[in-house]
Amino acid sequence: MDKDKLDPWGTSSVKDYSRLHSEFGIEPVAPLLPRFKRQSPHLSRGIDFGHRDLGRIIDAIDNHRPYAVMSGIKPDGAFHLGNKMTADDMIFFQSLSKKAKVYYAIADVEAYADNGLSFAETAKTAIRNVADILALGLDPERAVVYKQSEEMRVMRLSTIFSRGVTNNMLKAIYGERQIGLYMSALIQAGDILMPQLPELGGPKPVLVPVGADQDPHIRLSRDLADRYRSDFDFVPPSSIYHRLELALTGGYKMSKRDPASGFTLDDTPTEASKRVRAAFTGGRDTVEEQRRLGARADICPVYDLYRFHFARDDEHVERVYYECTKGIRLCGECKQEAIGLVRAFLEEHHKKRDALMNDARELLKKSRDFLASTGKE
C-alpha cells in the first residue's frame, strides 16, 4: 500500500485519515470536542478531523485571551467550494470569542506570479472574494484583510526566513521543488506568522484552518516559529484540518484547476445544478442492485455536498446517509434534492453578496488604514 502523500501543489491522496495521526503527527479532533461549548457542522460531522495544538486555541477561548485565525485566498477567480470550506472554519472560530481576530491574506503577488493576473484585475476579484466571506458570516469588526502586494511585513518575514531555512529542510517538508514554490511556501509562512509581530499585538495563538494537503505549510511555519523564537517569541501556530471534498467528476479532490470537479459561488443556480446532475455518484449499476446493497456514500461527491455544505442540519445528513446506504434513496432523487439545496443556497448567497460589495470595499480600506497605522520605522 502506498504511503499517504500530502502535497500542497500536487495530487494528494489521503486514503485513511487516521493514518495521518501516526505518519504526520496530526492529532485527532474528536477527543477535544467536549471542550467546545458550541460545535460547527464541520466539527459535529467529522469534517474537521485533525489538528495541531488546537488545545491552545480552546485555552485562549476559555480564558478570554486574544488569538488570531489566519487564512487567505489566491484571487485568481471565483470563490469555490474549497474556499468556502476554509472560510466556514475561519468564521466559526472567529465567532467563538470576542477576543478572536481574523487575518485574511489576498495572495495577489502569487496570482500575478503564477497566473499572470495584474494587480488591477486581482483587486477587483479580491473585492468579490471578500464579499463572499462577508456573506458567509465573517464579522468585519474583527477582521483584517490585506493584499500581499501591499503588506511589506510578509515580504520582510519571508526574506528573513529564507536565511533561516536550509535546502535540506525544505526538501524534507516539500520534496525537491523549484525555488518559486519554496519561495511561495516562505511567503505563506510570513502570512501565518505576521499576526504575532509586536505592532500587531505580539505573540499569540494563531489558528490556521486548512485542507489536509496544506499541512506541509503548517509544519514549515511551526518549524520557523521555533527557529525564530529568540527574535520574535513566536507561539507555534495551531492548525485544524478539514477533509478533502470529493470531486463531482469522481476524482479524489475538488480542485480549482478542474472547474468541472465542483462549482463556484459565482456560478448561477442553473450552472451549478447542471454540474450536480452530471456528477459521479456512489450508486450501483442497477436499481435492483442498489435497492439490495445500498449505495456507497463514502465515495459519493453528492453525499459530500450534503455533508460538507448544504444539509439543513446534522440529522438531515444522517438521514441521507442512512437512506443512501440502505438502498432507500436512489441517486436521481438524491441529486434532485441536492440541486434544490444548492439552488436555494446560491440564490440567497448571491443576494447577500451583492448587498455586501460596498462593505467588502470598506473592509479592505479599513484594514489597509489599520495596517498602515501599525507600520513602524
Q: How far apart are the first and last CA of the chain?
A: 55
Please identify which residue in 61, 109, 144, 240 interacts with a copy of itself, judged by CB under 8 A: 109
CB of 213 to a copy of itself, least distance (A): 20
Q: Which span sits near a copy of itself by CB under 8 A: 5-13, 153-161, 238-246, 248-256?
A: 153-161
The single-letter DSSP state of residue 286 is S
32 binds a copy of itself (CB under 8 A): no
Closest to a copy of itself by CB, 119 or 280: 119
Please identify which residue in 40, 44, 95, 162 interacts with a copy of itself, judged by CB under 8 A: 162
113 binds a copy of itself (CB under 8 A): yes
- Residues of span 203-262 touching a copy of itself by CB under 8 A: 231
β-partners of residue 13 are 5
Closest to a copy of itself by CB, 32 or 160: 160
Q: Which span sits near a copy of itself by CB under 8 A: 48-56, 78-86, 158-166, 273-281?
A: 158-166
β-partners of residue 70 are 103
Helices 119-136 and 331-374 pack at an angle, to 10 degrees, of 110
Which is nearest to 246 in space by CA: 281, 283, 293, 271? 281
Which residue blocks in the chain are alpha helix, DSSP H? 17-24, 41-44, 54-62, 81-95, 108-115, 119-136, 152-164, 167-174, 179-193, 215-227, 229-232, 269-277, 287-293, 301-304, 314-325, 331-374
Beta carbons of 238 and 206 less than 8 angstroms apart: yes
Please identify which residue in 30, 33, 152, 278 interacts with a copy of itself, judged by CB under 8 A: 152
334 binds a copy of itself (CB under 8 A): no
Beta carbons of 209 and 242 less than 8 angstroms apart: yes
Instruction: Please count the residues of this chain forming the interface with a copy of itself, following the rule CB under 8 A.
Output: 34
Task: Provide the binding-site residues for a copy of itself, judged by CB under 8 A.
Answer: 109-110, 112-114, 116, 119-120, 123, 149-150, 152, 155-156, 159-160, 162-167, 170, 178-180, 182-184, 186-187, 231, 376-377
